[in-house]
Amino acid sequence: MSKDPGAKASANKMWGGRFSVSPAEIMEEINASIGFDKRLATQDIRGSKAHAQMLAAAGIITKEDAKRIIAGLEQILGEVDRGEMVWSRALEDVHMNVESRLKDAIGEPAGRLHTARSRNDQVATDFRLWVRDRIDDLDAALAELQLALARKADSHAATVMPGFTHLQPAQPVTFGHHLLAYVEMIGRDRGRLGDARARLNECPLGAAALAGTSFPIDRHATADALGFDRPTANSLDSVSDRDFALETLAAASICGMHLSRLAEEIVIWVTPQFGFIKLSDRFTTGSSIMPQKRNPDAAELSRAKVGRIAGGFQSLLMVMKGLPLAYSKDMQEDKEVTFDALDSLGLAVAAMAGMVEDMEPNADAMRGAAGRGYSTATDLADWLVRELKLPFRDAHHVTGRVVALAEGRGVELEALSLDDLKSIDPRFRRDALDVLSVDNSVKSRTSYGGTAPQNVRKMARGWLRKLEKAAAKA
């Protein structure tokens, strides 16, 4: 187990002899980042191992020193994993804490590790590695959410429900079709995160403080060792770029917005007024005073997370907007907001996947609501165009008069008789009554991407094959 290095550090700062006194307490308070950037420890050690290996291969340090450094770093990684690492605020950040612990563990060779690098390129590398890891985690979680939605969609490809515009009944759709809309949205979210990952996958290590280094380092070797596609091409940009975090947060904000929309619909659907779905006790809570309550708290909290996610994006954007090249201490503010935003998104994705699997639709309530609000009026207008060759605007006018008749009688369109339709336009025939059925309405929507059950089953099963195949390869 490591010992607390704080006392020694307060008298002899890691950056050497330039400063003769310890910083004021308030300076230490605003300057220290170890409280949050210790989350980068795994990535920091991974980067340091690659750097040590490269230094030895280039003949900059001896192979024996590299071997001892790597063994020491492995020891520290074990301490971190077991929760045994003692973190010192006096050492400011994760980089100095790891380096100080390495010196305690292996002695003099630890001081050779920082050759040909700076904390500037070190933190830029660590942060890229961390964001890349989180993108991979999020992609896997989003794929699980897509699977849950696609499975439910396949099971309910023919379960009729109202489709809405302006939250008013519009046209009948199926529950499966509605859920597949979110599968498509999340597919685009995964694409945006994948694009961000591809662009961030360049390695800043070796850019040093801002100008590169005079040592004969091999930046391609360290990039390859850390799984990057290539080293970054400009040393100034390498240490001052946080586009990768901004782009990831932007993609995360859009994804969080999509989850919030689904969460809002779940909140609406579980109300007694709608009664479209039921959530079990696993994803609902009660009231401290009203014993009848079953509150959709998981959905509400998922709906709220987008505020923190989008807030993180806006916060980092404001941090970066006026910074001259290259590194400024302002950029220490990049991590907390990114950590919090991506943690929030990961939690919301997991909660949403659980709710989708858990929710049980009330098919009778959905079908009953689908027939209200004159939702098959467009089908009647289409019949007039198709069968009587009316221009659509004329058909729209005729259908509007039919709706007004039903509304005046306080009935739905399906309750009207042929004589009722003929009172509006004598050219109506008996087969016009068939299109007023919500079941016939959804069956007729066979255009590509439409809500016909046969379409929904095909789309759902296509997604399932694609997602299950990808999961099997993972």
Q: Which residues are catalytic?
A: 166, 287
Which two three-digit tokens encode residue 256?
């969080």
**Residue whose structure tokens are 């379960």:** 159
What's the CA gap between 41 and 81, in Å, rounded? 10
| Helix/strand/coil for 431 | helix
Indicate the helix (H) or strand (E) that contains 231: strand 230-231
Sequence-distant (6+) residues with CB within 8 A of 469 are: none
Q: For strands 277-278 and 360-361, give the pairing.
A: antiparallel
Cβ(68)–Cβ(112) below 8 Å: no
Kindly write down the DSSP assignment for every residue of 130-183, as one continuous string.
Answer: HHHHHHHHHHHHHHHHHHHHHHHHHHTTT-EEEEEETTEEEEEEEHHHHHHHHH
What's the CA gap between 9 and 265, in Å, rounded? 54
| Neighbouring C-beta atoms of residue 340, cutoff 10 Å | 16
Indicate the helix (H) or strand (E) that contains 340: helix 334-358
Q: SS3 letters for 379-430? A: HHHHHHHHHHCCCHHHHHHHHHHHHHHHHHHCCCHHHCCHHHHHHHCCCCCH
